[in-house]
Amino acid sequence: MKFKKTISTILILIIISLISRGINVYSAKYLDAKYSRDDGIIRGTQEFYFEGGEKAVLLLHGLTANPHSLKEISIFFLQKGYTVYSPVIKGHGTSVFDLENTNYLDWRNSAEQAYLRLAENYSQIYIVGTSLGGLLALDLASQYDVDGLIVINAPIKIKSDFISILPLIYLVSPYSIRGLFTLEELPIATDLKLYDTLPVKSAGQLLGYLEFVKPKLNKINSPILVVQALNDDIVDPISADYIFDNVNSEKKEILYLERSTHINIIEKELLKQESFNFIRAL
């Protein structure tokens, strides 16, 4: 009798898991289908490349984001006389299912190709990266002689109790749906044209990438400004301290944003001005 109850319990759990997974996949497909696209590209998410001066700024967006999320700071640097380039990191700006089929090596390659494109025509290149883009900026600076970099909310430690069980989560819910528990973030996410869905596979790739980048920090000698939102709901703010303490840069500064979250930068003007002041002084 006890054996039969155990088998029945297992079957019930399997059925519930399959139903949960089905609902999760359907929700991801539904949300992904709502974007307006031109030739498969979500409108407004294309790369920015504007020539504005002899010095160039490479701007790298975060996971589930796209160049549109960096448009405001891109225009700011353009108006200050810099050439600005914000590429699309592979898997972004099209479909969350494209993102799911990429890995961090694809993301690295996108960022590197963008940097090399600028290097063909500009001798001075500065990199601004947010979240995943911050990791990409650190990675590039560990390989190339970057003139300066600004990393914003770059993840070294993630705020989550579920990291260790991602494979189990994937079996039940392969996609994390934005707004399920954080409805207050939906307006800003919509404004920035972020994906509403994060594939669990991509979250795993991000975790693998930060472990790949961490041991390379001591190879970074470029001037660096580390920016961290103290109310970041995704990245543990100690990430900024870790980066600051482990790079070998002679010139390094840290800027804390007291009111901002991971994607909602409240102190936009402060961030833009301090970023410009930092680069201008180099």
CA 252 to chain centre: 22
Taking a C-beta distance cutoff of 8 angstroms, is the pair 99, 174 a contact?
A: no
Confidence (pLDDT) at 242: 98
Q: Which residues contact 89 (CB under 8 A, 6 or more apart)?
A: 60, 61, 107, 110, 111, 132, 133, 136
- For residue 80, give the 3-state DSSP assignment: coil
* Run of H or E including 210: helix 200-213
| Distance from C-alpha of 66 to C-alpha of 203, rounded to nearest angstrom | 17
Burial 12-48 (b: 16+ CB within 10 A, else e): eeeeeeeeebeebeebbeebbeebeeeeeebeebbbb
Confidence (pLDDT) at 180: 47
Burial of 277 (0-12, 13-18, 19+ CB in 10 A): exposed
In the chain, the amino acid numbered 238 is I
Taking a C-beta distance cutoff of 8 angstroms, is the pair 89, 60 a contact?
A: yes
| Distance from C-alpha of 185 to C-alpha of 178, rounded to nearest angstrom | 8
| Distance from C-alpha of 243 to C-alpha of 153, rounded to nearest angstrom | 11
* Run of H or E including 197: strand 197-199
Confidence (pLDDT) at 19: 79
Confidence (pLDDT) at 206: 96
Confidence (pLDDT) at 76: 97
| Distance from C-alpha of 83 to C-alpha of 58, rounded to nearest angstrom | 9
CA 265 to chain centre: 14
| Distance from C-alpha of 60 to C-alpha of 137, rounded to nearest angstrom | 7
| Distance from C-alpha of 67 to C-alpha of 86, rounded to nearest angstrom | 6
Structural tokens at position 6:
């155990």
Structural tokens at position 228:
């961290």
State the CATH number of the domain containing residue 260: 3.40.50.1820
Q: How many structural domains are present in the chain?
A: 1
* Run of H or E including 201: helix 200-213
User: What is the pTM assigned to this prediction?
Assistant: 0.92
Averaged pLDDT, groups of 10, the chain, 282 residues long: 60 70 88 91 95 95 96 96 98 97 98 98 96 98 97 94 80 79 58 91 96 98 98 95 98 97 95 98 96
Confidence (pLDDT) at 198: 93
Residue 205 belongs to what domain range? 2-280
| Distance from C-alpha of 28 to C-alpha of 203, rounded to nearest angstrom | 15
Conformational region of residue 57, where left means phi above 0, alpha means psi within -120 to 50, and beta covers everything else:
beta
**Can you tell me which residue has the tokens 């020539």?**
51
Confidence (pLDDT) at 184: 43
